[in-house]
Amino acid sequence: MTTITENPQPTAGKGFTASARLGDDLQQVLVDLIGLQLQAKQAYWNVVGLSFRDLHLELDGIADAARGVADTIADRMGVWARWPTDGHPRSPAPPASLPCRRENSGRPRWST
C-alpha cells in the first residue's frame, strides 16, 4: 500500500540520476509501450471468429499491462529528473519500433 504524506520529499538530485542513454532508452520503451497498448486495443476492437472471447480477454490484458508498465516507467523517469515526452499523439516523440499490422484494405481485422 502506498502512503501519501503532507510534504513529500523530492528524490531527484538526492541519489540516482538517469544518464542520457538510459533516459533515451526508457523514452523509447515508453513510446513502444504506448504503441503496444494502442495496437492491442485496436486488435481488441476488431477481433472476429471462434476464439473471439478468449482472444478478446487476452488482448485487453495486454493493453492493461502495457498501460501499467508505461505509467511506472514515466513515473520513474520523472523521479530521476528525466521527464518523459508528452504522450499525446501529436507530440514530437521518437517513432515507435513496433510494426503496425494492416490488411490490404487499410482496415485491420484479426480473425481467429
Q: How many domains does the chain have?
A: 1
Residues in the chain: 112
Using one digit for the tens of pLDDT, what is the confidence trace for 49-89?
A: 888 899 999 999 999 999 999 999 988 888 876 666 666 65
Residue 45 carries which side chain, given as an amino acid letter?
W
User: Which helix H or strand E contains 10, and what residues bound it?
Assistant: none
In a domain, 69, yes or no: yes
Average pLDDT of every residue of the chain: 76
Specify the CATH number for the domain of residue 66: 1.20.1260.10
Which structural domain, as residue segments, surrounds residue 41? 20-89
Using one digit for the tens of pLDDT, what is the confidence trace for 3-41?
A: 444 444 444 456 777 788 888 888 888 889 999 999 999
More confident residue, 100 or 91: 100
Entry pTM: 0.67
